[in-house]
């Protein structure tokens, strides 16, 4: 989208026509988002429409109209529920999209206060539905949506099913108390809801926000109750007969004392630099939370200073929403193709009209498997929602059905592999995956070599996908054992390789020969055999030959292995073709018995210690190795069986929250060193010592 600015070539009439088009589009998408819970464009695209209109009205002041979306809040309430007029308007917030816009807001605040110092309160911007709760004489009598800021919808019976919301208040509560906050759907509830939809063969929900909003607009409150919604309170509205406050953080403490859930990550900030650090911290750590956020809300703390700053026509001047980069965008699905992996697994993926989402341009996204394509019912030509969260592989969430082309037809999974052998795809009953079962399939061959050379396997630097494809196309390798027969002259035949690059890759291949046995086991590509089980086998048997010669019972009884993995290991090594590869690896000089055996006391045997955040004396790999060298385990998640959680700089908030909920001891680096030395907890650490919401000093 482009912004129309006042230039010699842009007339007022042209600008007025453009403004009307923008207002029509904004009203349409506002209604689909707020009333129908079925948006056709992403939040980022909607925000851009509003920003374009605001810029146009700035460049052409004659276009400003009090009915413009830039002068109003939300959307006109629908007709499904009774209308509720807010006694105190529920305003929206202006947005800051980057640090410069956040700084500009800070400058405006400073000017509005005549240069007086201000402190701030920073809150996570929950991706849910704004809600007003009204209590009279200590009893909840009404719950209403924001609507257009003046009039919302009465959803009291549905909100009454949300367990996190108090239905009555303690004695001595105000005669009238209006509490504002956000109703949201936790990620665990969202995943469970979509799992039920998948089991029933019905349409999956696109995201937790839409699922939560749709749950609140059910005519049957029992349906709302089944969706397991939750609530964070963050503001007072109308109060009659309550205490006097001087600051926002005092009101939050008051809400907490009355039993309302207040987010533990809310922080007071003394300076604008601290505010910016908080915003960037949660931009990078948003996926560690058990719910979705799409930004940070920054508010002036002093209520007196808020009075001084006042409001614009639609938003307070004393608050701003710092929006994170969008993780969902809409684009066109050009085609659906199928890739074949090293085990023959056939994975459908979407070929997309390139779109910038989650910090990068995405042109392909996973569709997981045949069932997911059927359940999501995405089709070539559809406008689809694409999601990329952090480092997670981009995925197509679902289609925008209201924009589907009239001649659209469901996509059918192919029956044969697209490799030159054209082998038939097979799906075993009871399994989700469709597979190419032809072992000579060149797609599988290439992916097995790529996996073998990857960082998790033999870690051959420079042996990327493009190089593997080039080697296979020239017939220089037919499996990963063939890598150790390559010469510098062979590599020089590849396009783009000169003497230096060919020599470097040759040396990298030779240097991989003495990788530890667990890496070799992972590189072989045995199904279900991951790094942990590979390490367990290496420690238990010492050499690859010993593992090959071990009985099924011996393998299965190895701690961390079990019967399923033992089956796969025995079957893999029983295949004559695999044994031939093993002998060629041996002939190529690959080390079969490189096992590092710890001579340290096994004082952590049977204990699981989770490490979250950065430690001064250990990087992540060193901390995990220190635990494993003493017989312990270092899983990536907290459970009731976790012995302790070690917390460093910028820890994962969800791990801390779960540890506190389960009563798991929380240790700092000194406590971690005590555990490594003694195998026991340091004195006084029987209870958790951290705050699940703490932002580390480096982030504040």
Catalytic positions, please?
Answer: 125
In whole angstroms, give the CA distance from residue 210 to residue 184.
Answer: 9
Interior CA angle at 253 toward 248 and 255, to 5°?
95
In whole angstroms, give the CA distance from residue 388 to residue 330.
Answer: 12
Backbone phi, psi, residue 189, to 5°: -65, -40
Q: Is 499 left (phi over 0), alpha (psi -120 to 50) or beta?
A: alpha
DSSP state of 219: S
Backbone phi, psi, residue 531, to 5°: -60, -40
For residue 226, give both structure tokens.
């089944």
3-state secondary structure of 646: strand
Helix, strand, coil shares, percent, the chain, to 5: 40, 20, 40
For residue 287, give both structure tokens.
């996926």
The continuous run of DSSP H or E covering 396 comes out as strand 395-399
| 177 strand-pairing partners | 135, 239
Backbone phi, psi, residue 395, to 5°: -135, 155
Q: Give the contacts of 674 (CB within 8 A, at least 6 positions apart).
A: 667, 680, 681, 682
DSSP state of 644: E
Are the beta carbons of 582 and 548 closer than 8 angstroms? yes
The continuous run of DSSP H or E covering 348 comes out as strand 345-357
In whole angstroms, give the CA distance from residue 398 to residue 372.
Answer: 10
Q: Tokens 């070929």 correspond to what residue?
A: 351
Three-state secondary structure readout of 73-136? CCCCCCCCCCEEECCCCCCCCCEECCHHHHHHHHHHHHHHCCCCCCCEEEEEEECCEEEEEEEE
> What Å distances lie between residue 610 and 557, 639, 646, 652, 695, CA to CA?
25, 10, 6, 11, 19
For residue 641, give both structure tokens.
């069986």
For residue 34, give both structure tokens.
């707020």
Closest to 90 (Cα-Cα) out of 170, 166, 128, 145: 145
In whole angstroms, give the CA distance from residue 538 to residue 546.
Answer: 9
Give the pairing of strands 319-323 and 95-96: parallel
Are the beta carbons of 518 and 538 closer than 8 angstroms? yes
| 85 strand-pairing partners | 151
3-state secondary structure of 230: strand
Q: Give the contacts of 299 (CB within 8 A, at least 6 positions apart).
A: 120, 121, 122, 123, 248, 318, 319
Residues recorded for the chain: 700
Helix spans in 606-652 (H): 620-629
In whole angstroms, give the CA distance from residue 288 to residue 311.
Answer: 34
**Residue 294, exposed/middle/buried by CB under 10 A (0-12, 13-18, 19+)?**
buried
Closest to 35 (Cα-Cα) out of 75, 73, 70: 75
> What Å distances lie between residue 579 and 439, 483, 520, 673, 677, CA to CA?
15, 17, 14, 44, 43
Q: Give the orientation angle of helix 43-59 with respect to helix 12-34, to 10 degrees.
A: 150
């Amino acid at each position: 989208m482009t912004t129309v600015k006042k230039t010699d070539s842009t007339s007022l009439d042209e600008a007025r026509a453009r403004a009307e088009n923008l207002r029509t589009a904004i009203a349409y998408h506002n209604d689909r988002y707020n009333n129908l819970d079925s948006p056709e464009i992403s939040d980022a695209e909607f925000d851009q429409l509003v920003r374009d209109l605001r810029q146009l009205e700035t460049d052409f002041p004659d276009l400003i109209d009090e009915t413009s979306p830039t002068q109003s809040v939300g959307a006109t309430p629908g007709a499904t529920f009774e209308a509720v007029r807010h006694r105190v308007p529920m305003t929206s917030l202006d947005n800051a999209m980057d640090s410069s816009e956040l700084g500009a807001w800070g400058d405006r605040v400073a000017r509005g206060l005549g240069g007086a110092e201000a402190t701030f309160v920073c809150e996570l911007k929950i991706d849910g539905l704004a809600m007003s709760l009204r209590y009279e004489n200590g009893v909840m009598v009404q719950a209403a949506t924001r609507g257009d800021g003046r009039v919302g919808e009465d959803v009291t019976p549905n909100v009454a099913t949300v367990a996190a919301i108090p239905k009555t208040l303690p004695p001595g509560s105000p005669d009238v108390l209006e509490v504002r906050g956000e109703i949201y759907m936790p990620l665990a509830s969202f995943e469970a809801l979509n799992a039920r939809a998948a089991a029933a063969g019905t349409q999956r929900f696109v995201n937790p926000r839409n699922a939560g909003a749709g749950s609140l607009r059910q005519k049957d409150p029992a349906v709302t109750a089944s969706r397991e919604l939750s609530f964070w309170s963050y503001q007072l509205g109308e109060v009659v007969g309550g205490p006097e406050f001087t600051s926002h953080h005092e009101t939050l403490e008051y809400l907490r004392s009355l039993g309302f859930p207040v987010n533990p990550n809310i922080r007071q900030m003394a300076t604008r630099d601290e505010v910016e650090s908080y915003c960037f911290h949660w931009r990078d750590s948003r996926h560690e939370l058990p719910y979705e956020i799409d930004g940070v809300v920054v508010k002036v703390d002093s209520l007196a200073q808020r009075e001084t700053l006042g409001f614009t026509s639609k938003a307070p001047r004393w608050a701003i929403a710092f929006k994170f980069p969008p993780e969902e965008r809409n684009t066109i699905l050009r085609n659906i193709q199928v890739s074949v992996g090293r085990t023959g697994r056939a994975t459908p993926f979407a070929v997309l009209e390139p779109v910038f989402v989650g910090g990068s341009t995405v042109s392909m996204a996973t569709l997981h498997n045949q069932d997911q394509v059927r359940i999501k019912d995405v089709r070539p030509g559809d406008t689809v929602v694409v999601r990329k969260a952090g480092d997670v592989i981009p995925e197509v969430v679902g289609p925008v059905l209201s924009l589907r082309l009239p001649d659209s037809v469901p996509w059918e999974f192919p029956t044969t592999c697209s490799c030159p052998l054209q082998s038939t795809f097979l799906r075993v009953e009871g399994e989700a995956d469709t597979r190419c079962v032809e072992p000579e399939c060149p797609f599988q061959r290439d992916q097995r070599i790529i996996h073998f050379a990857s960082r998790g396997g033999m870690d051959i630097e420079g042996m990327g996908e493009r190089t593997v494809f080039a080697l296979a196309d020239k017939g220089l390798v037919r499996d990963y054992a063939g890598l150790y027969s390559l010469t510098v002259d062979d590599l020089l035949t590849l396009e783009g390789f000169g003497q230096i690059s060919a020599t470097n890759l040759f040396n990298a291949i030779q240097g991989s020969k003495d990788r530890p046995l667990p890496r070799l086991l992972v590189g072989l590509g045995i199904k279900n055999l991951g790094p942990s089980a590979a390490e367990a086998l290496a420690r238990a048997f010492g050499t690859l030959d010993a593992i090959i010669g071990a009985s099924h019972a011996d393998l299965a009884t190895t701690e961390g292995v079990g019967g399923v993995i033992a089956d796969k290991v025995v079957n893999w090594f029983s295949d004559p073709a695999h044994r031939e590869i093993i002998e060629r690896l041996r002939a190529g000089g690959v080390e079969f018995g490189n096992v590092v055996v710890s001579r340290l006391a096994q004082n952590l045997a049977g204990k699981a210690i989770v490490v979250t955040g950065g430690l001064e004396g250990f990087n992540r790999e060193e901390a995990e190795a220190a635990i494993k060298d003493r017989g312990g385990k270092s899983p990536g998640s907290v459970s009731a069986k976790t012995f302790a959680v070690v917390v460093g700089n910028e820890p994962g908030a969800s791990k801390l929250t779960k540890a506190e909920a389960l009563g798991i001891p929380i240790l700092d680096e000194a406590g971690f060193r005590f555990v490594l030395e003694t195998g026991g907890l340091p004195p006084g650490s029987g209870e958790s010592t951290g705050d699940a919401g703490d932002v580390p000093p480096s982030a504040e």
